[in-house]
Structure 1
């Protein structure tokens, strides 16, 4: 009897301790006074960085995290700390090995990221305003992945938590493009690439902030701002360095280790720019390599999704997971490319790469060129011809004027009231301080542009020819890639339909990241990834932002 009472006491004591542990102070997202921070921001030398606000006036992150209250109640700081060495900065093959050996599980991996996002985003001194929504079913899905583990997962996306730019449709979260006009865009099918990710077993963790309407909305406004998500901030310098755009949240969340990978979209520089400024790997594929159905558009001529990761291997794995022929996308291509089959070799010797002479004045670029030369790459200095991209804005104007209504009719929630750019402008004018504090000048320009479709075709042809002329050295000098900096030449690559891969190259004296961008010929993504991997292994410069370790 005494033994029974003793064991009963121990059990009650254990339960009591567990309750005490779980009854830690609940994390609450509180609005804070940002007046002094905004005032300080007005002294920034970059006018785009002179913010009018930081926090979202629309979003309540307490509601976003509500589905995870019970699970996070029992996931404590000591659990998080114990898992950090297994997860932070690790590539997919390493994470899959930890799961295979039992050191980790898909559920623990997902809980880790949810805890980490909550930890930083609820801290007013470290919040990045990077998350718009979270998949309420993601932990249930993670447990299912654990229950149905596959044998060969080392180089697979299976069970990996992925974040999506919030202009990519999902069936379980709204797709807003950062705009209040689409805040209730809930009842949609998965975008084509999301279907592919789910088929491969990926976990869609949530949606991330972006430059509203993919930065084709206001003129001269901050990069990474949206009325839904507020002002996205760069973890390497909150309010000091730009995030890049429009896929700001996709880059910021991966830089801060909030997920394994993210998906962004690009029309001209919208993957390359934020990836570069947040020291992550970003790939903008050739148009048609990845399907675009279910993505809020700017331009059916130039738009493409693409992966954003901490390393090249993960980028290739993501490409494999998203590929496929999209029957409802007129630009989609039937390809049989495997972006990681047989792995990558650390080989730069004999690679013919173009060095843009005018960029050699940049000390980091110049030093990088020296490293590549010493590693055996054949470097050919080139001076691209002076080429104007006349009509570029017109192309975007007329494409969006026609493409956005098609998305709203075919891929948006039937309850969404706006049917055109003109409707969105009128909707925003009803409460411009909330819905368009920086104005909507580019949308107004779309409505005012009367260019005909016949004239547009001429503009497209001329732009394509101009882009190809700019990169004529790729063919003339038999180059595998041209080396650029950040998104310096994204416009030319966009109109020429050349893929671009940006890889961390270093950090300026200020601490701001800078990246090397490889520009290749159409459909050369595999080659770019191989070269990028060799460069990454040679330099290994990426480092975590110091306040997010």
Structure 2
């Protein structure tokens, strides 16, 4: 009998020990006081109603990595840091080539870093919606390949990449931040196939402004029902994140991955890139496939790379290029350079926007460039872009059902989604769904839409007519100030960190070019980046 009691006691102790080891890293907390403080913010969009994700359990997101992360120490994380943080892809690849690092350790580093900050109630930025449960095994396979093959330093092979959660990725749900899409698990988008073909590791999916910020009106940037409220690491709850690729912007800024992919209709890459001091490229529409991306507008949508530096942007952009027969606007760039060269500003005619010279940082930048290149001041005539919202309404009314078709979901149209959300609006639409309701009410015909599209494109090109009249190579703007014009004109944008305001908020210089001038923009951006070197890590995320 005593022996039996002893055995039972030992088993009890073992079970207690087991329970101790099952540590809950992510704990919900009372956010009432924080929300009360937010109501005093001067920006109405920063008067948050919710902070933490209500439907997402990050403990479950990290469950596949428990064993490996338990064996990855803080000391190891600290020792790897200098090889990874703020380092460009070529430097990381070189460290791996020299045996200082491998793809598995690199992947574990990012997983550890994400968990470290996202489980801290004073540091989390709500960047992550899901993680690839197989990514560590995939990284190990990359290490095996690397032992038998020479990997180029300018390759995304083995590089952990985070995707905006409106980009289809097999093995992970694609939600667009919407509760109704939580079980949406389609096959890879075309650009994800290209990334994988080139050896990239898909680390996971990031938060976004729900439905790419074409859902509610005047609501916070970076909020989604699935992921909660994204925060800007340069000023949590102080500065806006930009949107709709909010998670892509903040995750890149905080070094949660080598790079991220965002999407843009009108400003959704340039805005969060600018406000998080990262490099964002919105390409010419059709150069990167939109197949498998939750749509707003088949007319204006495009994916694009978001990175910590221009060289990485170049590498990532090239890796996603390819003609997609399923995308009616898909096109190719005939000449793709092997390497990115620094542009010679002396040979370029640079358009600067006179009305923006009232901004001291922009003016200082322009004055510096006057010493180097040929600066031409321009003052384009503003137009209202009447019908822009109608274009988005009718495109989404027709494009979203095509995406939803055959997905075995509860909804098949925008109207269905509106009705679904009304059943639990506190969870599914706490800030309302005014834009979706507007889509349902809009009766514009497809014939009328074609007239609007044609007129808007002409207005956009007219706004940038200085390209032709002044023989300009590029026009310089701030952040996403002219994103709508470049969207309807179908002109590419590249935004590069330009500095920080007195408040500490990032501000960026945006290079606007003619269609298919991406490699010229990247060369100019590289020149500017090398000239200024202004990007710095957000404080507290070193």
Instruction: Give the alignment's TM-score, normalised by structure 2.
Output: 0.95
Residue 377 of structure 1: CA displacement? 1.3
In the other structure, the counterpart of 2:355 is 358
- Report the alpha carbon displacement of residue 395 of structure 1 after superposing the two structures with TM: 0.2
Deviation, structure 1 residue 25: 8.4
Aligned counterpart in structure 1 of residue 124 of structure 2, from 104, 108, 127: 127
For residue 387 of structure 2, what is the aligned residue in structure 1? 391
Residue aligned with 1:546, SS: coil
Please give the alpha-carbon distance, in whole angstroms, between the structure 2 residues aligned to 1:354 and 1:221.
34
The residue aligned with 1:6 is none
Q: Which residue number corresponds to residue 426 of structure 1?
A: 419
User: What is the number of residues matched between the two proteins?
Assistant: 522
Indicate the residue corresponding to 1:159 in structure 2.
Answer: 158
Match of 2:77 in 1: 80
Partners in 1 of 2:384 and 2:30 — Cα distance? 46
Q: Which consecutive unaligned segments of at least 5 residues does structure 1 have?
A: 1-19
**CA deviation map 1:34-73 (0-9, x unaligned):** 0000000000000000000100111000000000000000
- Partners of 2:339 and 2:201 in 1: how far apart? 25
Aligned partner (choices 431, 453, 471) of residue 460 of structure 1: 453
Give the match's secondary structure for 1:196: helix
- Give the Cα–Cα distance (whole angstroms) in 2 for the partners of residues 343 and 504 of structure 1: 18
Q: Per-residue CA shift, 1:396-424, capped at 9, x if unaligned?
A: 000000000000115xxx32120000000
Work out whether residues 477 and 509 of structure 2, in 8 Å CA contact, stay in contact via their aligned partners in 1: yes
Partner of 1:44: 41
The answer for the alignment partner of 2:188 in structure 1 is 190
Q: Distance in 1 between matches of 2:71 and 2:167?
A: 32
Q: Measure how far apart 1:386 and its partner are.
A: 2.5
CA contact (8 A) 2:151 2:157 kept: no
Shift of 1:476: 1.2
Listed as ranges, the gaps of 5+ residues in structure 2 are: 1-16
Residue 446 of structure 2 is aligned to residue 448 of structure 1: no
Is this contact kept in 2: 1:26–1:73, CA < 8 A? no
Give the match for residue 212 of structure 1: 210
Distance 1:30 1:210 in 2: 22
Which residue of 368, 378, 382 corresponds with 2:378? 382
CA RMSD of aligned residues (A): 1.2
How far apart are the structure 2 equivalents of 1:42 and 1:415? 40
Following superposition, the deviation at residue 27 of structure 1 comes to 5.5
Q: Equivalent residue of 1:349, what SS? A: helix
Does 1:290 find its partner at 2:283? no
Task: Name 1:258's counterpart in structure 2.
Answer: 256
Q: How do 1:95-174 residues align onto structure 2 when only pairs under 5 Å count?
A: 95-149=92-146, 150-174=149-173
The whole-number CA distance in structure 2 between the counterparts of 1:254 and 1:368 is 24
Matches within 5 A, 1:286-435: 286-338=284-336, 340-345=337-342, 347-374=344-371, 376-409=372-405, 414-435=407-428
Task: Pick one of 462, 476, 487 that aligns with 1:483.
Answer: 476
Q: Secondary structure at the match of 1:451?
A: coil
Please give the alpha-carbon distance, in whole angstroms, between the structure 1 residues aligned to 2:111 and 2:152. Answer: 23
Deviations 1:493-529 (A, max 9, x none): 0000000000000000000000000000011001000
TM-score between the two structures when normalised by the length of structure 1: 0.94
**Following the alignment from structure 1 to structure 2, what is the Cα–Cα distance between the partners of residues 93 and 461?**
43
Q: Tell me if the contact between 2:321 and 2:332 (Cα under 8 Å) persists in the aligned partners.
A: no
Find out whether 1:473 has 2:469 as its counterpart.
Answer: no
Residue number in structure 2 paired with 1:11: none
